[in-house]
Each structure stands twice: as structure tokens, then as C-alpha cells.
Structure 1
Amino acid sequence: MQKEREQNDENFLKEFLKEFYRQIMINIENYTNFEIILIKWTREFFHLNKKDPKIFL
């Protein structure tokens, strides 16, 4: 059970990092709002995946 949870968290983190990079590449053109866009996206990503950001960040 613990091993399964760790694997799930690892997969979540990998997906988060891939999508985070993708968001940077997409939103870099809008540099003035870049930080706000990434903060909103990060919150939404964690919420949709039902993960606690305090654990990962």
C-alpha cells in the first residue's frame, strides 16, 4: 500500500514537472503576467489532482 502511494506521488510529480515546463514555454511570451499565470496554473493542477501542495512544494 505504501509502495503504491509512493509510486503514485512519483508519477504525479513527473507529470507536474512536464506540465510546468510546458506552461513556461507557452506563457513566456506573456512575461508581465508570467508569475501570476504559473501560480494560478499550479494551484489548479494540484486541486484537480486532489494533492496537497504542502507535501510536494
Structure 2
Amino acid sequence: MQKEREQNDENFLKEFLKEFYRQIMINIENYTNFEIILIKWTKEFFHLNKKDPKIFL
């Protein structure tokens, strides 16, 4: 069970990093709101995946 959870968390982090990078590439043109956009996206990503950001970040 623990190993399955660790694998799930690892996959989640990989997906998060890929999508985070993608968000940066998409939103870099909107530099004035860049930080706000990434904060909102990060919160939504964790919420949709039912993960606690305090554990991962």
C-alpha cells in the first residue's frame, strides 16, 4: 500500500512539473500577470488531483 502511494505521488509530481512548464511557456507572454496565473493554476491543479500542496510544496 505504501509503495503504491509513493508511486502515485511520484507520478503526480511528474505530471505537475510537465504541466507547470507548459503553463510557463503558454503564459510567459502575459508577464504582468504571470505570477497570479501560475498561483491560480497551481491551486487548481492540486485541488483537481485531491492533493495537499503542503505535503508537496
Moved segments of 4+, more than 4 Å: none
Residue segments in structure 1 that go unaligned for 5+ positions in a row? none
Tell me which of the two structures has the higher relative contact order, counting C-alpha pairs closer than 8 angstroms and 6 or more residues apart.
Answer: 1
Structure 2: any 5+ residue segments left out of the alignment? none
TM-score by length of 1: 1.00
Question: Would you tell me which structure has more helix in proportion to its own residues?
Answer: 1
Q: 1:56: how far off?
A: 0.3
- Report the TM-score when normalising by structure 2: 1.00
Matched residues, number = 57
CA distance in 2, matches of 1:14, 1:36: 22
Q: Percent of aligned positions with the same letter in both sequences?
A: 98
